[in-house]
Amino acid sequence: MLTDVLQLPRYERTDLPGSLSEIDWSALELRVQENVMERLVRRSQVLLEEQMRDTLTAVIDRASQTLAIELRDTLSQMLHETVARAVREELTRVHTEIAERGGPAQRPPPGRQGGSA
């Protein structure tokens, strides 16, 4: 988390001045600021990547569920329409075959009388 205490690198003895009066406070401030920013950026990138991955996973899961439902509904509708069309075509074929043989007049098959099945 960003609220964790950041571990700053220890400075080598050779990097440290001999006394407090010899410290270049602006240079030390800049160095500490750069170290803190570098660590914050690295940690925030990790956190953002984790949050992005979690968010994308949830979005992809929802989209997959929605897509599966839509595909199932579409397939079901197509299947019903295909079966209905096949039944109509078969009934029409049988009716035509009977009519061509000179059989008794029959009423037209369902779906051929001004409406559809």
Where exactly are the structural domains of the chain? 27-100
* pLDDT value for 105: 56
Q: Which tokens is 22 given?
A: 């010899």
Q: Which residues of the chain have pLDDT under 70?
A: 1-13, 15, 103-117
Contact yes or no for 64/26 (Cβ under 8 A): no
* pLDDT value for 74: 97
pTM of the predicted protein model: 0.45
Q: Give the closest residue to 90 by CA, choosing from 112, 68, 75, 70.
A: 112
* pLDDT value for 12: 67
SS3 of the chain: helix, strand, coil, percent, to 5: 70, 0, 30
Write the DSSP symbol of residue 111: T
* pLDDT value for 110: 62
Q: How far apart are CA 21 and CA 59, in angstroms?
A: 58
Q: Give the closest residue to 10 by CA, choosing from 30, 24, 31.
A: 31
* pLDDT value for 1: 47
* pLDDT value for 114: 47
Contact yes or no for 24/32 (Cβ under 8 A): no
Contact yes or no for 11/32 (Cβ under 8 A): no
Q: Give the closest residue to 17 by CA, choosing from 9, 27, 7.
A: 27
